[in-house]
Protein backbone atom coordinates (compact mmCIF):
# COMPACT_ATOMS: atom_id res chain seq x y z
CA UNK A 1 0.00 0.00 0.00
CA UNK A 2 2.73 2.59 0.73
CA UNK A 3 4.10 2.26 -2.81
CA UNK A 4 0.61 2.74 -4.30
CA UNK A 5 0.04 5.80 -2.14
CA UNK A 6 3.39 7.15 -3.29
CA UNK A 7 2.43 6.50 -6.91
CA UNK A 8 -0.90 8.27 -6.38
CA UNK A 9 0.93 11.30 -5.02
CA UNK A 10 3.43 11.33 -7.89
CA UNK A 11 0.62 10.84 -10.41
CA UNK A 12 -1.17 13.93 -9.12
CA UNK A 13 1.88 16.19 -9.31
CA UNK A 14 1.28 19.10 -11.69
CA UNK A 15 -2.42 18.28 -11.88
CA UNK A 16 -3.28 21.82 -10.86
CA UNK A 17 -1.62 23.13 -14.02
CA UNK A 18 -2.99 20.29 -16.13
CA UNK A 19 -6.54 20.97 -15.04
CA UNK A 20 -6.21 24.77 -15.08
CA UNK A 21 -7.89 25.14 -18.50
CA UNK A 22 -10.93 23.26 -17.18
CA UNK A 23 -11.06 25.31 -14.00
CA UNK A 24 -10.78 28.59 -15.90
CA UNK A 25 -13.50 27.41 -18.27
CA UNK A 26 -15.81 26.55 -15.39
CA UNK A 27 -15.26 29.87 -13.63
CA UNK A 28 -15.71 31.83 -16.85
CA UNK A 29 -18.89 30.07 -17.97
CA UNK A 30 -20.52 30.14 -14.54
CA UNK A 31 -19.69 33.85 -14.19
CA UNK A 32 -21.10 34.60 -17.63
CA UNK A 33 -24.21 32.53 -16.96
CA UNK A 34 -24.89 34.33 -13.69
CA UNK A 35 -24.12 37.77 -15.14
CA UNK A 36 -26.42 37.25 -18.12
CA UNK A 37 -29.53 37.18 -15.93
CA UNK A 38 -29.24 40.64 -14.34
CA UNK A 39 -27.87 42.05 -17.60
CA UNK A 40 -31.15 41.06 -19.24
CA UNK A 41 -33.72 41.55 -16.50
CA UNK A 42 -32.45 43.80 -13.67
CA UNK A 43 -33.26 47.43 -14.45
CA UNK A 44 -30.23 49.09 -12.84
CA UNK A 45 -27.84 46.54 -14.37
CA UNK A 46 -29.43 46.96 -17.79
CA UNK A 47 -29.24 50.75 -17.57
CA UNK A 48 -25.59 50.61 -16.48
CA UNK A 49 -24.68 48.20 -19.30
CA UNK A 50 -26.56 50.35 -21.80
CA UNK A 51 -24.74 53.50 -20.68
CA UNK A 52 -21.31 51.82 -20.69
CA UNK A 53 -21.42 49.68 -23.80
CA UNK A 54 -24.58 49.99 -25.89
CA UNK A 55 -25.80 53.61 -25.80
CA UNK A 56 -29.25 52.69 -27.12
CA UNK A 57 -32.18 55.04 -26.57
CA UNK A 58 -33.73 54.59 -23.14
CA UNK A 59 -37.11 52.94 -23.14
CA UNK A 60 -40.01 54.90 -21.72
CA UNK A 61 -40.56 54.51 -17.98
CA UNK A 62 -43.96 52.89 -18.54
CA UNK A 63 -42.20 50.20 -20.61
CA UNK A 64 -39.80 49.34 -17.79
CA UNK A 65 -42.20 48.61 -14.94
CA UNK A 66 -41.65 44.85 -14.72
CA UNK A 67 -38.64 42.61 -15.13
CA UNK A 68 -40.20 41.18 -18.27
CA UNK A 69 -40.48 44.63 -19.82
CA UNK A 70 -36.86 45.34 -18.86
CA UNK A 71 -35.91 42.04 -20.50
CA UNK A 72 -37.82 42.94 -23.63
CA UNK A 73 -35.92 46.22 -23.91
CA UNK A 74 -32.52 44.68 -23.11
CA UNK A 75 -33.06 41.73 -25.45
CA UNK A 76 -32.65 44.03 -28.43
CA UNK A 77 -28.91 44.25 -27.77
CA UNK A 78 -28.41 41.09 -25.71
CA UNK A 79 -29.74 38.69 -28.33
CA UNK A 80 -26.99 39.14 -30.93
CA UNK A 81 -24.03 38.38 -28.62
CA UNK A 82 -25.87 35.59 -26.77
CA UNK A 83 -26.99 34.07 -30.05
CA UNK A 84 -23.51 34.33 -31.53
CA UNK A 85 -21.90 32.79 -28.45
CA UNK A 86 -24.41 29.93 -28.56
CA UNK A 87 -23.74 29.33 -32.25
CA UNK A 88 -19.98 29.49 -31.66
CA UNK A 89 -20.21 26.89 -28.88
CA UNK A 90 -22.35 24.66 -31.09
CA UNK A 91 -19.78 24.86 -33.90
CA UNK A 92 -16.86 24.19 -31.55
CA UNK A 93 -18.66 21.16 -30.07
CA UNK A 94 -19.36 19.85 -33.58
CA UNK A 95 -15.74 20.38 -34.62
CA UNK A 96 -14.50 18.59 -31.50
CA UNK A 97 -16.67 15.59 -32.29
CA UNK A 98 -15.37 15.52 -35.86
CA UNK A 99 -11.79 15.61 -34.57
CA UNK A 100 -12.59 12.64 -32.35
CA UNK A 101 -14.12 10.83 -35.36
CA UNK A 102 -10.84 11.40 -37.22
CA UNK A 103 -8.86 9.96 -34.33
CA UNK A 104 -7.48 13.26 -33.06
CA UNK A 105 -7.49 12.99 -29.32
CA UNK A 106 -8.76 15.86 -27.19
CA UNK A 107 -6.70 17.54 -24.49
CA UNK A 108 -7.97 15.22 -21.75
CA UNK A 109 -6.68 12.10 -23.50
CA UNK A 110 -3.32 13.75 -24.12
CA UNK A 111 -3.10 14.75 -20.46
CA UNK A 112 -3.89 11.19 -19.34
CA UNK A 113 -1.27 9.77 -21.69
CA UNK A 114 1.30 12.26 -20.42
CA UNK A 115 0.57 11.24 -16.82
CA UNK A 116 0.77 7.53 -17.69
CA UNK A 117 4.09 7.87 -19.51
CA UNK A 118 5.56 9.98 -16.73
CA UNK A 119 4.54 7.44 -14.07
CA UNK A 120 5.81 4.52 -16.17
CA UNK A 121 9.22 6.22 -16.51
CA UNK A 122 9.36 6.92 -12.79
CA UNK A 123 8.38 3.35 -11.81
CA UNK A 124 10.04 1.48 -14.65
CA UNK A 125 10.71 -1.67 -12.62
CA UNK A 126 6.97 -2.33 -12.45
CA UNK A 127 4.79 -3.58 -15.30
CA UNK A 128 4.27 -0.60 -17.62
CA UNK A 129 0.74 -1.54 -18.65
CA UNK A 130 -0.46 -1.79 -15.07
CA UNK A 131 1.27 1.44 -14.02
CA UNK A 132 -0.12 3.22 -17.11
CA UNK A 133 -3.66 2.04 -16.43
CA UNK A 134 -3.30 3.10 -12.81
CA UNK A 135 -2.17 6.58 -13.89
CA UNK A 136 -5.04 7.00 -16.34
CA UNK A 137 -7.70 5.83 -13.90
CA UNK A 138 -6.41 7.59 -10.78
CA angle 81, 67, 44 (to 5 degrees): 75
Number of other CB atoms surrounding residue 67 within 10 Å: 15
Start-end of H helices in the chain: 2-11, 15-41, 43-49, 67-101, 107-122, 128-137
pLDDT at 1: 79
Residue in 132, 82, 84 with CA at minimum distance from that of residue 109? 132
> Block means of pLDDT (10 residues each) for the chain, length 138 residues?
87 89 95 94 96 94 96 93 94 94 88 91 91 88
For residues 93 and 112, the answer to whether their CB atoms sit within 8 Å is: no
Amino acid sequence: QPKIQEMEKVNKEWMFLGTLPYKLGIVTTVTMAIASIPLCFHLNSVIWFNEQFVTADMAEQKDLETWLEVGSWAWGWMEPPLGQISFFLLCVAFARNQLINLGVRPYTDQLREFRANRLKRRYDRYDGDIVGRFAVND
